[in-house]
Copies of this chain bind each other. A is one copy, B any other.
Amino acid sequence: MREGKTRYVILGLLSERPMSGYMVKKLVDARFRFFWSESYGQLYPELKALLREGLVEIDDDAALRPEEPVPTPSTAGRRDRIAYRIAPAGREALRRWLDRPAERESVRFEILLKMYFAGQGDRKALQASLREFEAHYATERATLDRYQEELERIPDERGDHRDVLRVIDFGQKSYDAYLAWCRGTFAEWEGR
């Protein structure tokens, strides 16, 4: 039976600093975007479950001085804001998950499905999809570069920069491969 990994995403981020569910979502979107995603519909119920199981705790301190745990986005205009902090049992659970072998990755590329069956449809539509695909990954590739530069500029306080840079490198390398494939495909189509 597959285990949900949402909890480990939460636990992993909380292991760095206390934060709210909203902030977990923002961080997943910002940092993990190129290899992971979570929705509020998963995050908030999972946080509740984690609290019930004693893997996380409410951090009132962080809720009172919200400027500290939240670095990037502006802290203006907030509502209730519930800050969570990882509990010892949570650290334990995170460690146990990290020590288990990683499960097989899952990918789904609709555009490849469409390219495979391209003979049955209009080539114009596929071309437009591919251009959209290329533009998207070109933008994302640039975002990764900015992320890398930022990381190399700021001091490595937790000593995790090398690991994070390896993760970023994965994104850069695979996006480069996607973009090279786009160029190759357009070239092939033109010389048809």
Q: Which residue numbers of A lie inside 8 Å of B, CB to CB?
A: 5, 8-9, 12, 15, 31-32, 34-37, 91, 94-95, 97-122, 125-126, 128-129, 132-133, 136, 158-160, 162-164, 166-167, 169-170, 173-174, 176-178, 180-181, 184-185, 188, 192
Q: Roughly how many angstroms separate A5 CA and B111 CA in the complex, as a whole number? A: 12
Q: Which residues of B contact A101 (CB under 8 A)?
A: 125, 128-129, 132
Q: Which residues of B contact A118 (CB under 8 A)?
A: 98, 160, 163
Which of B5, B166, B169 makes the CB contact (< 8 A) with A110?
Answer: B5
7 new A-B pairs (CB below 8 Å) besides A116-B167, A173-B184? A36-B112, A36-B113, A95-B122, A97-B114, A101-B132, A105-B108, A174-B174
- Quickly give the copy total for this chain: 2
Q: Which residues of B contact A9 (CB under 8 A)?
A: 113
The 9 tightest CB contacts between A and B, nearest first, are: A98-B121, A177-B177, A12-B117, A102-B111, A102-B129, A35-B109, A173-B177, A99-B125, A105-B109
The distance from the CB of A52 to the nearest CB of chain B, in whole angstroms, is 22
